[in-house]
Structure 1
Amino acid sequence: MTLQLNCDLGESFGSWTMGMDAAVMPYIDQASIACGFHAGDPMVIRKTLALAKAHQVVIGAHPSYPDLVGFGRRSMQCSSEEIISLMHYQIAAIDGMAASAGLTLDYVKPHGALYNDMMAKPDVRDAIMASMSEYHRPLTLMLQATLQNAEHQSAAERFGLNLCFEAFADRCYDDDGRLLARSKPDAVHSKEKMLAQVKQLCNEGSVTTINGNTLKLQADTLCVHGDNKAGVQAIQDIRELING
């Protein structure tokens, strides 16, 4: 399969630095930019947009639950109305700043616990899809490639949305197609395992799960995390594997 390469970026905040955005940006196709609720601030967003523009990288919004202290990795009990509102608030911030920089926001990829809840809870997924269908212009929703792709595609069609299915270079998969929880051993791949997984995805359209089973995935884009040192160090090799 031919994959795009994406990375979650703009996740620094004030004097606190997360990731190596400048090192990653030359090698990726899509940059998912933090919107301020889990990371990022106006200056960081502006600098990340400028980096993306310099390297002609497509930009997406990376919204989360309002959880700056927990880096957006803690689930919150938000109503559908709250999710729609927090999505609109964050998307509009990136959308407006991008337009001011001469860029066009292309897609939305929820972050952390909001992403996990989107994949596990139909009510959260419906709220996210509703928020995007109510936004003033079309945007693509990026979500995890799973065995339920067809089901998610059907739901998106009801909301009039386009989807982009995502696989992960640096994360280990469980047998059910979910990402192995970061709290478990071997959840994040070493560089060697990461490159092997990318090669398998490109050549066979599958990954090997934590228990050694083969899991078929239909994906459009491949994520490498910018907060993962091994992932950043492997990004050039991953680019070469994707390019074939």
Structure 2
Amino acid sequence: MFGFSPEAIAVAIVAAIAAGFVRGLAGFGLSVVLVPVLQLAIEPSAAVLVGIISLFLIGLTDIGRIHREADRSAIPITVIALACMPLGLWALVSLDPAWARVLIAMVSLGAFVLVVVPLGKIALPRYPAMGLSGFFTGFFGGFAGMPGPGMAPFYLRGRLEPRVARASMMAIFLVVTPLSALFFVWQDIGGWDEMELAALLFPAVLFGDWFGHRAFGRVSKTQWQVTTALVLGGAALGAVWKLLA
């Protein structure tokens, strides 16, 4: 079905529900959950493309929220990310698939570490922080289909309210993901099979996302940050455990 085995599709559906929940709760994390699991069943480049398309499709459901609540910092971060995304894609296609799987799992784990590690007195000024966020958002988006780890530290550690931080990350995804997907197809990395699989998974992503949105409205800022970190940590450890097993 859709060029993939029934086992791969079953794994993808379960991962899509969990990924949708994380995205609805945190504003990012769909690919952090979906890609590391999915790339154990299909080629890493195909998993990345499915994750990118899924991010775009779910982003279309939140255009109204993004317009009302997103912060202007999303604009420069998006521009920088688009410029750096080809570098990540080059790294993805240049590496052996086995190494790509390992590094994708490490990106998932790194997303958790960057959110929870104490920074002490280290604090970057706003503009350099946005620049670094844009670079890593683009690189991780191209390499692993995970723009979230690049922008999560900036928004989760910043002074913005959770609803504004969440909408800002959703805004970046909405612009970056379709252009990234087109770049993949232009480079002949994936095609209709990945698009059809992403469309098949969309109801599962939407289902999980609905529960994530409901959970978000019931937690405080601290609870949101802690919950997001715990969910990312669990997803990262799960991906690493599956990879080693």
TM-score by length of 1: 0.28
Select the structure that is richer in helix.
2
TM-score by length of 2: 0.28
